[in-house]
Amino acid sequence: MSIRTRFAPSPTGYLHVGGARTALFNWLFARQQGGSFVLRIEDTDKERNTDEARLAIFEGMSWLGMDWDEGPDKGGEFGPYYQSERNEIYNRYFEQLVRADRVYEEDGAWRFRFERKTVTMHDLVCGEVTIDYRDESNTPDMVVKRSDGSYVFHFVNVVDDLEMKISHVIRGEDHLMNTPKHLQLIEAFGCSAPAYAHIPLILNADGSKMSKRDEGAAVGDYQKQGYLPAAVTNFLALLGWNPKTEDEVFSVSELIERFSLEQVNRAPARFDIEKCQWMNQQHLAKLGDEEFAAAARPLVEAAGLALGDQFERIAAAVKAKVRLLSEVPAAIDFILTDTFDLDEEALEKVNNNADIAPILDGLADQFDAITDWSADAAKQALNEFAEAKQTKPGKLMFPLRVALSGRGHGPDLGDILTLLGKQRCLKRLRSFVSKLKST
């Protein structure tokens, strides 16, 4: 059997992480099985559909690396891939129901006549699910065509899956109870049903259902905030899928190799933005210095900072310090410009040592005597100066860091000394001493 999966979003808003996770599971399964992944757009809601939302879906999926084999901009033998262009197909299937006497008109709308029997489905994630249609009061006949002539979701969804020869429908658990309805429709059409796999819902960390307004809900925000697509893909894959290993950090190719529907959890998944940021940090750490600098460059430029000719080295100095690429500009601004703010909390800690100003003044003289500047030479000079002053080198490192960077944390001190160079270090150190003396 040819494996064919699909993602069928409605362009009424941005791409939500729930939708992205559904698309990802379909994409991973298709890629793992050597099948095809179809994108079709359910755009029959004319009042709520927007071009902006449609583009957001395309851009979000493309950014995550989920390429589709058939669909908008790709074509395919089972198009059109917009529901708004498929009405003739729907009419043909509807007439089939009319001829079979499976629909009847009521108040201008058309209802599908259920067979009054029990319907059992085997779900690849949820197991066996049975709905009893013998009691009409609990399971009234389903509207398939509205009084205005438009078709409802259940009808067009089934028709599209049949027409596009979808082999596996992988979708959210909120659609589980719809499936027996769809099975009755498929049976009425005389067709074979695809396999169904209903994946768990995504909940917030506190157990509440995740909404579009919650933090982390919009896929577009991840790109703006400096996440790597591979990290977000890795994070989304683990929302409901268990790789059966202690490892959590996977490349996209590793996810494709390992993914299976048998390992999808039945329990709801908990969304944790802190875990997502941690995941991003792990993926950033795996980048080479050139790759990291290239990924950070657009955000640094957007912050209005001049990159200079050693940007790759500067960016590399903070690669292990940031969780998001959006943190890079603030982490390196003091290297790229000589105009930066002093952290008040760090300054207060330095000021707690009343004798620090003359000591730093003497350290500046020690630095000035270095003829061949390097981080090692500067650290040796600091050690010698500390020994002469009968103090520990570590006690000088924090005030030196604050003097050079304006903050009490950041890149390795050796990187700061190297990247700033002798003259900028001396100028900043003496300026800092003057500030201390004037306070």
Residue 212 annotated in active site: yes
Find the helix packing angle between 375-388 and 413-438, rounded to 10°. 50
Encoded amino acid at 6, one letter: R
Encoded amino acid at 385, one letter: F
Residue 98: count of CB within 10 angstroms of its CB: 12
Residue 269: count of CB within 10 angstroms of its CB: 20
Number of H helices, E strands in the chain: 17, 11
Q: Which two tokens stand for residue 355?
A: 């004798």
Instruction: Measure CA 10 to chain center.
Output: 19
User: Can you list the pairs that 58-63 forms with residues at least 24 positions away whose Cβ atoms lie under 8 Å?
Assistant: 59/220, 60/14, 60/15, 60/20, 60/219, 60/220, 61/7, 61/15, 61/20, 61/23, 63/219, 63/223, 63/229
What's the CA gap between 112 and 95, in Å, rounded?
12
From residue 220, alpha-carbon distances to 97, 223, 234 in Å are: 42, 6, 16
Strands 127-132 and 142-145, bridge-based pairing: unpaired
Given a contact cutoff of 8 angstroms between Cβ atoms, the answer to whether 200 and 264 are in contact is: yes
Catalytic residue among 212, 286, 395, 437: 212
Read out DSSP for 15-49? -BHHHHHHHHHHHHHHHHTT-EEEE-B----TTT-
Q: Which two tokens stand for residue 333?
A: 């601004």
What's the CA gap between 82 and 211, in Å, rounded?
26
Please identify which residue in the block is written with the tokens 């009968």.
Answer: 390
Encoded amino acid at 25, one letter: F
Active site residues: 212
